[in-house]
Structure 1
Amino acid sequence: MVVNVNNWHWTDKNCLPWAKKYFERVLKEKIFKSVNDIEFKITNISQLEGDCEVNQRKGKLMSLFDMQMVLDFDVLCKENKYQGTIKIPEIAFDSEVEDYQYDITILKEKSDDSFLIREFFKQDIKEELSLIFYKFNDDLLAENAKDIQLDAEKVTSTYTSQNAQKTKAAKVFSENLNKKEIKKADSAAISAQATGFKQNTTTLKFQETFTTKANQLYQTYLSPQFIQAWSRGTFHPLTSLSSSLLSNGEKYGLFNDNIITTIISLKEGEKQSEIIMSWRLNDWVKDQESQLHLKFHESSEFGETTMEVIWSGVPLGQEDRVKERFREIYVRGVKIIFGFGMVL
């Protein structure tokens, strides 16, 4: 029984044990299937750490959680079986659906299968998992409020009753706004695919750091031999190659031509270099291409090279997808193969 007159005093409850049972129930043994005969099954929650609590004061019910999770999975792709893990570094009370990040590791992966599995995860599984994590906050409050807060009919204070109503109103407004934003982004992508017309675009700007020289990094992205290594053996020239490094106008595909790239402009220097290339995914509408501009800046003081990425022409709604793809293939892949820095 809750002893808290008019829900006035600060009351809290540690809900981490409840959260573990909750995620066991909604995630374990969950199966995802693709049209390409990929079956992805979450087999275990091997780690759930952090803080998770519900508290209230003066009628205001609040959640406060920040957790990290690791999921184990089995996956069947083209009759090949794999195991792996998904790390979710932050499941927080103030996260929106698009905020959740995933680091997927596939054990003993094969290049073609790996691409298909990761593509399936990013296109279908990621969104469904994010919606589960986003819904967690509502279920957490609904299930645990009764342990720390009196029922509304037992509250005689007008002040605390008004606070409770304000909390509910703010929650409804936030949910409706988030649904509208998701629907707007989805509608734009669906419309472009259905009509075949080019989608409106935006520009992304971000940086990555490598522990190597600028010239070495420049060659890593232009040498067919090096590209073959960091792309897991999927480099496919679509034009004849004139030298040991790609040159202007030369075109190639990666991961069964799911990514198509054409070199537009090159500028090589000892401390600073640049690569400009067109870049598209094969499921974009015809003639929809982005322009990927890589600038390499070497720091003699720290022995590092900063890669400045200016990515124009990215279709609206595809920002997270292409950025994640870039970091997984062009950054993480290069660091793992050549040891050019810490892999996150």
Structure 2
Amino acid sequence: MAKIGQGDERWIVADREDGTNVNSWHWQEKDAFEWSRERFADLIGAIEFEDGGVRCRCTGVTALTGEAYVNRRKGKIICGYELDLKIGYEGTILDGGKTVTGNVHFPYIADENAGEEHEAKVLAAGEGPDDRKVKEIMRLVALPKMAEGVAKFEKELAKGGPGGEGADPNEAKNASGDKKPGDVQSNAEKERESRTDKTAPLSQKSHTIRITERFYCRPRDVCDALMDGQRVMHFSRSPAQVRPEPGPFMMFDGNIHGETLEYVPGEKIVQNWRFRNWKEGHFSKVTITFREPEPGNCFVDLVQTNVPETDAFDNETVMDTTEVGWKQQIFERIRQVFGYGA
């Protein structure tokens, strides 16, 4: 364990003047949303086939919402995605030539369900017999093909998504000490080409945490657990000063503190938020929103931006500590203490 005022040497990378991310040690984050749109268009949006006297073809991505991203640190790739996808289709009855249209809807393609069969619905634009015939063929023939495309998308994203093919084999060699002359220079050149923040070392960057948690309760119940001081002290088992209104707050005996900027009960919480051991004056921004697809089935979406890469002692565990803290010390305790377990 590091002494007070010193960093733990196990977590420190020597500063480099060129800011090179040697061996992908530092945390990198890349938005993969537009890449996802393009891959869905290629893998699913161009499917064509004939079956049962009908010629069917997918006409591309008609709607895509949500988010997708790829994080990389120490040569490891961590991807996250939660997407709502619609693919257009048209079917032509070969005996008669009539053409009908519709969409195939994948309402929830998410990393938490990777490798599983995703829910999909065929939505015909009309209600006539030809619409129903094409819809049934799309359901029986197209959906399995589209499921294969989604599975391939998930595998590609898990390997790095945009511009990535998984962990670089050279990184494993460097990590084990088997370095060749020029390896570091080659990585440095690649890093300079891919970076968008060429004016500062990556160690000076801030990062984003995204978490989705499920509770069996109403959104207001989770809000009360997070914003009522007595309930916060109950699940945290430590002093807290929190009020369900804009203003300063502190939790875990002051180890977490900041200011609530916006509070809409059951809908949204926005806070300036920091750990006590972060560099003086550095605050992240936490936005928590709530979804309730059906009564008693609540999803909590947290986005925390401007999270520092290091604390005041230059320990590089901030991202891991913060994310694990939310999951285990806050959300999991709320489930256990108040019986909202999912």
* TM norm structure 1: 0.40
Considering fraction of residues, name the structure with more helix.
Answer: 1
* TM norm structure 2: 0.40
